[in-house]
Structure formats: C-alpha cells, structure tokens
Amino acid sequence: MKIVSGGVCAAKGFQAAGIHCGIRANHSKRDLALIVSSVPASAAAVYTTNLVKGAPLTVTKRHISDGVAQAVICNSGNANTCNANGIEIAEEMSALTAQALGIRAQDVVVASTGVIGQPLNIAPIAAGIAPLKAALSDDGSADACEAIMTTDVKKKEIAVEFTVGGKTCHLGGIAKGSGMIHPNMATMLVFLTTDAAIAPAMLTKALQGDIRKTFNMISVDGDTSTNDMVAILANGLAGNDEITAEGEDFSAFMQALNTVNVYLCRGIAADGEGATKLLECAVSGAKDEAAAKTVAKSVVCSNLTKAAMFGEDANWGRVLCAIGYSGADVDVDKVGVSFRSAAGSVEVCRDGAGVPFSEKVAAQVLHESEIDILVTLGDGDGAATAWGCDLSYEYVRINGDYRT
Amino acid sequence: MKIVSGGVCAAKGFQAAGIHCGIRANHSKRDLALIVSSVPASAAAVYTTNLVKGAPLTVTKRHISDGVAQAVICNSGNANTCNANGIEIAEEMSALTAQALGIRAQDVVVASTGVIGQPLNIAPIAAGIAPLKAALSDDGSADACEAIMTTDVKKKEIAVEFTVGGKTCHLGGIAKGSGMIHPNMATMLVFLTTDAAIAPAMLTKALQGDIRKTFNMISVDGDTSTNDMVAILANGLAGNDEITAEGEDFSAFMQALNTVNVYLCRGIAADGEGATKLLECAVSGAKDEAAAKTVAKSVVCSNLTKAAMFGEDANWGRVLCAIGYSGADVDVDKVGVSFRSAAGSVEVCRDGAGVPFSEKVAAQVLHESEIDILVTLGDGDGAATAWGCDLSYEYVRINGDYRT
C-alpha cells in the first residue's frame, strides 16, 4: 500500500469540483462541492447519533437505502438543520444535481454544513449546479475539499493505492472539521471514494467497523454535530472480483480504509477550531478495549488537559483526573503517564503518583505541535487511541461570534 | 427565613479563621482555613465520584464515619492528591489541629485543594496551626472563605436564619470553585455549619437529597475534581428538639439548606474560571425529572453554547445540538428555546425550528451578566435547572499555565 495523490479523484472513474455559488458572502471561499462516479457505485454511510439531525441526512439515508449512489453534493455555509422546509430543500438539491448529471435523484448523497436554524436558500445552488458540473475534473478533489470546509484552516485530503486479488485499487477521501466534533457512530463530513469492487453490505460492514477505531475516537470540543456523516462510494472500476465476504481481499480493503481514515482523523483533530497542537492519547494495559477507549476519549476531551497542553504545561494531574472520572474501571494506583513528541519523551507519573522529572525536558517535549499522551493502566491487554487538540484563545474567539 | 450575615459563623457556637501559612508563595493570599464548633456536632459529607481521590477525602470519610465532627481544617495551594504520603500528611494535619484545639483527631474534617501530584509539605501547616487558632473569631468566615479559594475571584459565602419547632436556627456556608467543576454526587469544596439540632442520619439524608438538585447541577468545565467535598456540621446549639425523622422540622431545615446551596451554586458557576456570565438553563416539559436534568446539564456543559454566550451571540442551534446529543429521550420537533435576562427575553426556537426574532433585542438580552436559557420540551411534567458559565479567553489563559 502506498500514499498517492488525487484525493477523492484517485480512484478510477471519479471526478470532483468545488466552486463558490453564493451561499457564503465571501466570494473567495468555495461553498458547493460535487463528487461524481462515471458509473453507479456501491454506497454506505454512517450518521450522527444526535437526535437533532440535519435534513440532508434523512434524505441521504433514504437515497442510499438500496446500497447504490453515483454522486455527492455538499454545500457549506448553512447546515440546513432545524428548518421547517429542510427536507424539501435537500430533495431539491438532489434533484437539481441528478438532472444536471443525467442520473437518478435517489443516487445522490446530499450533505450540508454550517450554521444551524437558518433557512437554506436554494437559488444560489440551483444557479451553481451548471458551472459546478462544468468544473468537474480529475484534479477536482482539492477544490471539493475546500468547498466543504467551514472553520477549517487546512485541507484534509488523502488517497492510497493497494491491491485486491491482483488488481490495483485506490481509496481516497476528503474531510471537513473543525468544531462541533465529538462523533458518536459517525462524524463530521467525510466523503470517501474507491474503485475497488465491493458489495454494499460489505462496504457498510467495513465502514461501520472502521469508524469505531477512527472517527468515533476523535473530539475537538465534546459537541456531537447534528450533520455528521461519513459516506463512501465504491464504483468497482479497478476490476477486482467483487468483495462479497470476509477474507484476504476484505482485509486488504479494511487496511486501506483504516489508513485513509486515521490520516483524516489526525487531520481533523490537528485542525480543530483554534488548535495549535494535535493530541494523541494512547492507552494500553486496560481491562478491555472498551475501557481503553473510554479512558483515551476522556483524556482528549478534558478541557483542563487541553488548556494545559496549549500552555505547554506538564500538568499530568489533569490527565489522572480525567482517567479517574472517565467511568472506566481503573485501578488508579497502577496508572502510568508519559508525554512524548518529536523532541523526546518524559515519564511524569508511575503507580498513580508523580515521579521526579526535568521541567526543561518536559517543556521541550510539549513545545512540539504533535503530542502523544501515553497512559498505561497495568490491568490487562486492552488498548485504544483517541485524537484531539489543545484548547486555545482562538477556539473561544471563533465560537464567540460564529454566526456574525 | 431570611438572609443574614456571618457565613459559617452565623450559627451559634461556630468560629472560623483563615491565614497565610506559607503553602502559597504569594504572601497576600490566605491558604489555611479553620472552622470550629464549641461542642461536638453531627456531621455529614458527600464526596467526588472521581476514582482518583484526594487523600484528605479518605481520611475525612474515616473520621466522620461515627457521624460526629467538631472542626474543619483546609488548605489551598496543594490538593494532596496522587502523592505517595498523602494519607499520612492528611492524618498529620488532623492531629495537629486536634492537638491545638484540645479535641479528638477523629472529629476533624480535613480537606485540601490546589495542584495535583505535588507532595504537600506539612511544615508551614504545623507552624500555622497556632496563629490560625489564635485568629479564630465570630467574624472569621470571610477569612476562612478566602483561604480555601484557588482561582476563585469572588468570595462565595451566605447564611440564613430560619425556625425549627419555634427555635431560631441558622445555616451558613462557604464555597470554593472555580475550575475542575462538574460535580457528580458531590462537588468542589463547600463547608456548611448550622446550630440546628439534627441527628447524623437525617443530616446525611438532607445533604444527599439536596445536592442532587444543587451542586450536582453545576458545571464550569466538565472536569470532575478529585478533591470535591461538601461537609456540614450541625452543633445543636439552637436548642430545637433534635430532628430525627421527616416532618415539618425536617422540611424547614431542607428549605434552609436548599436556599444556601442554590446561592453557593450560582456563586460558583458565576465565578467559574474566566467566566463573564452566569448561565442558568431551566428545562420544563420533559418526560421526567431525570430527562430534564440530563438536558439542562448538557446545555450548560456545551463548549459551543458557552462560547456563543461569551460572544453574546443568540446561536440557538448550539442549544438544540446539545439537547439532541444529551442522551435524553426528547422529541426534537417539540423543542422551544428562549433567552432571558434582566434586559428582557427573546424566543428563538419553537417546535424545533427557528422563529424570526430581533437580533437587536437578542443582543440586549445577552449583554447582561446573568443569562437564563429556557428550554421547553412539550413532553411531560419533568423540570430541572442547571448552572454554568460562559467560556472565555481567560479560561484558557488561567489553565494554560496553572502550575507555573
């Protein structure tokens, strides 16, 4: 397996585009994205568990209930959530897209992201579909990626090349963060494409299995979005024998999927609103995997730990505190904690109590932009990793006047 | 019932003091507090559910297992938590206090608050006990209150006068916030005193009953402290017939306790780290009280809602979002939201969708320092109130370099 360029266009038969259609006032910011497969594709998606759900999710769920999709249309700048006419608008977005592309409306995945509770005007989208279609190209992934961004600062895009049954396959994705990130059974917006041939049921299985270890293990601010969705389209153009069961081919596919998703997870966490540092909490020695996940998530979600990391302060008591209130069954007298980064590592806690450490070394370790918080629980074989970011002044500034 | 002055010294037979003994480098900040009853008192306490527990909690639990206490000793500047010799130090603090006062060590409630994981030096405490005892007075509540403060900006102190069986009683308290506040079965540090006569079992019942609606309903940052404790001493000097069962007298006592605790809760939330606004979320129309509590807590804990309130932005979609991911069984299509303050009120959401409102009026409402977020669920009779605060730049600054 190797990393390749092209994002969602790396897989054969996929084109993408992103333009400014006018949902956003800022003319330099693209706000409408399109991803199209030249042939109908197997499709699967997972969605937020928030009871308040964006209208596009309801429509997408209905559209891909037959396991088939051919295009993804997504706008930023407005979430089309908590609006009386939300479903109608999402259906209209799908219909306009289908009409322009000459495909079926029920083969369109529709998504929206942005402010909640403000009616979404269909006019700029209706006017934008034709130029959007005209802009479709094999190099369009970056533009599509930009068009789904809200407060994101960096583009999150990747693709890999791998082999299934002797055939070269590709799997790529784009993702949008960067606030209201605390996924539960799904996450933010992530669109994945692959030319591997895989049956819809296996595609769903692969996606649902992988997100438990990837997108469900990230948090920027503890707020689970209303519009989270991860959707994947597999058009089979790589020519491999369709994956219809578990086995070597499915494993190869899962590995590619996991590589892409971990990359996007780290990208989303690192580009969390206002973030200056990516935090990775790796827990080992837990009673079981569930306990490890609970502890890892609790640490990356702790505002106090996040603020300490922003301040580059090795205040490990806050890590212990977050472990203690996580709800996981932990013997606190066996807990060990180290901080690690490109600059080295420093052990700060052993057997639940502090150990002497050099504040100078700790400061060097924490000065890096990617910090690993290593937690050992000494209680079993359970392990898990969660990703988050620090809490900065900028997070507050961004969210103090998001609407205005 | 009426509000009176005197804090923890309002009840007959209680004296208090707070001095600087040298745990903190800053000589102008008191760091050691003492509250003493002239006679042994009924005692009850509730503690944090964090698995990582401060050593003083373990010692206090043991000391008041017989339902009796006579003094409270508490230092700030160091939590005496995650230290190998923590229990020993907490026992020594108790013994030194008991010796100076001529009481039993097992009648001392001991507490600590501050940095986790740094050994607590007993020397300044040992040297401080004599001057602390010498400073005891009927006006000492404010000094004791100051001595337990960490990042708190405002003193949180109150007392009420009420009648039990024809006798005038008093109940007062002091509280310490202001970060790592997300109580669960207990909270921060709160010391309450009363001269009402009440049996230990009923005192425990009263305290455990009340905190479910008071201290367990506040959050500053979602981090449940390791050193949370609410302790109450009742010395019986008011001369009422001892309260030994439910009934009129117990109800009068509960009402006094609730008045004091709600006041302290609001004070702790308003003085949350970096807070510029007190948020009160009142939920009504829930299926049951548990659902109402879950929703109210979720709203005041949402970083995005908190940041929007800091920015005085009527971004009600974030309130809806927090209701949706709370875990409570809610029909999102029936949700209503209004913001209210001293400047007026503004309805922003009805039946789960936005309603037109004046941004000018909303800005006036949200410009106040106390904001009510009123949520109606239209689904039953369950109601609950939770308190929190906004999320500001200052929170990040305070917590970016708390240790240094």
Which chain B residues contact residue A349 at CB under 8 A?
A: 82, 117
Show which of residues 245-284 on chain A sit within 8 Å of chain B, judged by CB atoms: none
Least confident of A50-59, A277-286, A291-300, B246-255: A50-59
Residues A239 and A296 in one domain: no
Of A49, A117, A317, the CB nearest to B81: A317
Which chain A residues contact residue B303 at CB under 8 A?
A: 221-223, 303, 395, 399
Q: What is the mean pLDDT of residues A159-176?
A: 93
C-alpha span between A388 and B143 (Å, rounded): 41
How far away is chain A from the Cα of B235, in angstroms, using its nearest Cα?
34
A353 close to B (CB below 8 A): yes
Q: What is the DSSP string of A174-243?
A: EEE--SS---SSS-SEEEEEE-S-B-HHHHHHHHHHHHTTTGGGB-SSS---SS-EEEEEE--TT-PPPB
Catalytic residues of A: 187
The CATH number of the domain holding residue A348 is 3.10.20.340
Determine the pLDDT at residue A48. Answer: 83
Would you give per-residue pLDDT tens digits along chain B (404 residues)? 999 999 999 999 999 999 999 999 888 899 999 999 999 999 999 888 788 889 999 999 999 999 999 999 999 999 999 888 999 999 999 999 999 999 999 999 999 998 888 899 999 999 999 999 999 999 999 999 999 998 888 889 999 999 999 999 999 999 988 777 776 544 478 889 999 999 999 999 999 999 888 888 888 777 777 777 888 999 999 999 999 999 999 999 999 999 999 998 898 889 888 899 999 999 999 999 999 999 999 999 998 899 999 999 999 999 999 999 898 999 999 999 999 999 999 999 999 999 999 999 999 999 999 999 999 999 999 999 999 999 998 888 888 876 55
The CATH number of the domain holding residue A163 is 3.60.70.12
Nearest-Cα residue of chain B relative to residue A350 = B82
Which chain B residues contact residue A315 at CB under 8 A?
A: 115-116, 402-403
Pairing of the two strands B108-113 and B68-76:
parallel
Residues A230 and A369 in one domain: no
Residues B106 and B183 in one domain: yes
> How many structural domains are present in chain B?
2
Residues A215 and A295 in one domain: no
Residues B331 and B255 in one domain: no
User: End-to-end alpha-carbon separation of chain A, Å?
Assistant: 45
* B300 contacts: CB under 8 Å, gap ≥ 6: B218, B219, B269, B279, B281, B306, B373, B386, B387, B388
* B36 contacts: CB under 8 Å, gap ≥ 6: B14, B15, B16, B70, B71, B72, B101, B136
Tell which of A225, A251, A270 closes a domain.
A270
DSSP, collapsed to helix, strand or coil, labels residue B351 as coil
Cα dihedral sign for B296, B298, B300, B305?
negative
- pLDDT tens digits, one per residue of B326-385: 989 999 999 999 999 999 999 999 999 999 999 999 999 999 999 999 999 999 999 999
* A197 contacts: CB under 8 Å, gap ≥ 6: A42, A234, A236, A238, A239, A240, A241, A242, A243
Tokens 């299926």 belong to B287
C-alpha span between A137 and A167 (Å, rounded): 24
C-alpha span between A199 and A43 (Å, rounded): 9
The answer to whether B393 contacts A391, with C-beta atoms less than 8 Å apart, is no
DSSP, collapsed to helix, strand or coil, labels residue B15 as strand
Residues B115 and B258 in one domain: yes
A82 close to B (CB below 8 A): yes
Which chain B residues contact residue A319 at CB under 8 A?
A: none
Which chain B residues contact residue A325 at CB under 8 A?
A: 49-52, 182, 184, 223-224
DSSP, collapsed to helix, strand or coil, labels residue A56 as helix
Determine the pLDDT at residue B343. Answer: 95
The answer to whether A402 contacts B53, with C-beta atoms less than 8 Å apart, is no
Tell which of B244, B270, B296 closes a domain.
B270
Determine the pLDDT at residue A184. Answer: 57
Q: What is the DSSP string of A313-356?
A: ---THHHHHHHHTS-S---GGG-EEEEEETTEEEEEEETTEE--
pTM: 0.81
In this model, does residue A221 exceed pLDDT 90?
Answer: no
Residues B126 and B41 in one domain: yes
In this model, does residue A8 exceed pLDDT 70?
Answer: yes
Residues A215 and A310 in one domain: no
Tell me the Ramachandran region of residue B205: left when phi exceeds 0, alpha when psi lies from -120 to 50, beta otherwise: alpha
Which chain B residues contact residue A398 at CB under 8 A?
A: 307
B113 close to A (CB below 8 A): no
Cross-strand bridge partners of residue B47: B229
A356 close to B (CB below 8 A): no
In this model, does residue A404 exceed pLDDT 60?
Answer: no
In this model, does residue A50 exceed pLDDT 90?
Answer: no
C-alpha span between B176 and B168 (Å, rounded): 28
Size of chain A, expressed as the number of residues it contains:
404
* B128 contacts: CB under 8 Å, gap ≥ 6: B19, B21, B22, B32
Residues B43 and B96 in one domain: yes
Q: What is the mean pLDDT of residues A318-323?
A: 92
Tell which of A270, A296, A321 closes a domain.
A270
B105 close to A (CB below 8 A): no
Token digits of residue B152: 């708190």
Which chain A residues contact residue B224 at CB under 8 A?
A: 321, 324-325
How far away is chain A from the Cα of B212, in angstroms, using its nearest Cα?
18
The answer to whether B310 contacts A400, with C-beta atoms less than 8 Å apart, is yes
Of B83, B225, B311, the CB nearest to A401: B311
B82 close to A (CB below 8 A): yes
Domain limits for position A204: 2-270
A191 close to B (CB below 8 A): no
The answer to whether B402 contacts A315, with C-beta atoms less than 8 Å apart, is yes
In this model, does residue A186 exceed pLDDT 60?
Answer: no
Interface A-B: count of C-beta contacts within 8 A: 207
Residues B238 and B362 in one domain: no
Cross-strand bridge partners of residue A375: A283, A337
C-alpha span between B219 and A360 (Å, rounded): 34
The answer to whether B353 contacts A83, with C-beta atoms less than 8 Å apart, is yes
Q: Which helix (DSSP H) or strand (DSSP E) does residue B45 occupy?
A: strand B32-47
Residues A152 and A222 in one domain: yes
Q: Which DSSP state fits B293?
A: H
- pLDDT tens digits, one per residue of A101-124: 999 999 999 999 988 888 999 999
Nearest-Cα residue of chain A relative to residue B312 = A400
Determine the pLDDT at residue B185. Answer: 43
C-alpha span between A148 and A153 (Å, rounded): 12
Least confident of A138-147, A226-235, A353-362: A226-235
Determine the pLDDT at residue A403. Answer: 59
Residues A293 and A241 in one domain: no
A229: phi then psi, degrees, rounded to nearest 5: -165, 135
